[in-house]
């Protein structure tokens, strides 16, 4: 999780939103990314999506079975779906998606547990990991001049 937090801080310093993700397999970091929505004018460039793309490219496969994704915030439905389709085994996140919604992000507040149930996904989900450290990212971001939600 600390890798994802470091990536989110890096993104905040670069004018991005306060989200980071890291993909690990067998205890080894495969990829990490911060949100890049504003950087590339790409509404799909969430930290999780970018980390998944990097992991697939590095491993030369779309099958990320056995991988764990650490995300500073509960993945949105798009990112959860990408985790499911790439066969990521486990999602571990810090703060709930509702925290982002409260700050003005245009989130579809559908929890990962609900997505898992609706889609009958086998992904394991664990939330609240280093929650306070992840909430601190939102506070750091709020202090940034020119911050933007999407």
- The span from the CA of 111 to the CA of 117, in Å, is 10
Element (H, E) at 102: helix 97-102
Task: Provide the phi-psi class of 84: left if phi over 0, else alpha when psi is between -120 and 50, else beta.
Answer: alpha
Starting at the earlier edge strand, list the strands of the sheet with 124-126. Answer: 28-34, 20-25, 67-73, 90-95, 124-126
Q: CA-to-CA distance for 149 and 105, rounded, in angstroms?
A: 5
**CA 124 to CA 91: how far, in whole Å?**
6
pLDDT for the residue 104: 83
Task: Tell me, yes or no, if 48 is annotated catalytic.
Answer: yes
Q: Which of 48, 74, 113, 133 is catalytic?
A: 48
CATH of region 2-142, choose from 3.65.10.10, 1.10.443.10, 3.50.50.60, 3.40.140.10: 3.40.140.10
- For the chain, residues with pLDDT lower than 70 are none
Q: Which of 64, 26, 70, 63 is nearest to 48 (CA)?
A: 70
- Supply the pTM of this predicted model: 0.96
β 67-73/20-25 pair status: antiparallel
Which pLDDT does position 28 carry in this prediction? 98
pLDDT of res. 108: 87
């Amino acid at each position: 999780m600390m890798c994802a937090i470091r990536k989110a801080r890096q993104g905040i310093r670069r004018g991005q939103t306060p989200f980071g993700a890291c993909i690990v397999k067998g205890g080894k970091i495969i990829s990490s990314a911060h949100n890049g929505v504003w950087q590339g004018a790409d509404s799909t460039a969430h930290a999780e999506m970018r980390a998944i793309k990097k992991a697939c490219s590095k491993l030369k496969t779309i099958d990320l079975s056995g991988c764990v994704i650490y995300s500073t915030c509960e993945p949105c439905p798009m990112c959860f779906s990408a985790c499911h389709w790439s066969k990521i085994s486990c999602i571990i996140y810090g703060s709930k998606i509702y925290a982002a919604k409260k700050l003005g992000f245009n989130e579809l507040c559908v929890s990962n547990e609900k997505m898992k149930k609706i889609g009958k996904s086998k992904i394991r989900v664990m939330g609240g990991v280093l929650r306070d450290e992840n909430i601190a990212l939102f506070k750091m971001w709020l202090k940034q001049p020119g911050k933007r939600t999407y």
